[in-house]
Amino acid sequence: MRIGLYPGTFDPVTLGHLDIMHRAARLVDRLVIGVAINREKKPMFELQERVEMIRMETAQITACEVIVHPFENLLIDCARDVGAQVIIRGLRAVTDFEYEFQMVGMNRLMDDSIETVFLMADARRQAIASRLVKEIARLNGDISKFVTPAVAKALISRVR
């Protein structure tokens, strides 16, 4: 069984994240969506809220089994914990690549049996970043092009 881990904070989950999830699901038998507990990022949504949003938004994925898995340890340890052979990462721009390049190198030094696969963001989704979506929502902008209606409702409710 091919198990892939797609990690992130998903605060909130965007259409860009969902695009990567749907595409990754075609590559593996089980897709584990690792929801990071990253206290330094000070998420707007609590862990359980983010987990539930992702469960709701991925319920229609049928290409593989999808599991939503919160984690607070090292990414490579999470990958081991869930039995992942591959870590799936989305890339939007060159700046993403520089960060991801360093992370892959460190992860390979810790466990070279786990590969990392990069999926380029769909051209229509490359500019979407959770932090920017939150800022647009805070300033009463239209976020409908960046998140699903359910996530938009939760986000607007949170910022107002």
pLDDT in tens, 50-60: 999 999 999 99
Contact 76, 112 (CB under 8 A): no
Q: Does 113 qualify as catalytic in the annotation?
A: no
Cα–Cα distance for residue pair 151/56, rounded to 1 Å: 10
Using 50, 70 and 90 to split pLDDT, how confident is the model at 103? very high
Share of the chain above pLDDT 90, in %: 85
Residue type, 45: F
Q: Does 41 qualify as catalytic in the annotation?
A: yes
pLDDT at 108 over 90: yes
Q: Does 92 qualify as catalytic in the annotation?
A: yes
Active-site hit among 80, 92, 108, 138: 92
Q: What is the pLDDT of residue 40?
A: 81
Active-site hit among 2, 26, 41, 124: 41
Cα–Cα distance for residue pair 35/54, rounded to 1 Å: 9
Active-site hit among 50, 89, 125, 130: 130
What rounded mean pLDDT belongs to the chain? 94
pLDDT at 39 over 80: no
Cα–Cα distance for residue pair 34/7, rounded to 1 Å: 4
- Closest listed residue to residue 20, CA positions, set 94, 79, 87, 105: 87
Using 50, 70 and 90 to split pLDDT, how confident is the model at 80? very high
3-123 under CATH 3.40.50.620, yes or no: yes
Q: Does 17 qualify as catalytic in the annotation?
A: yes
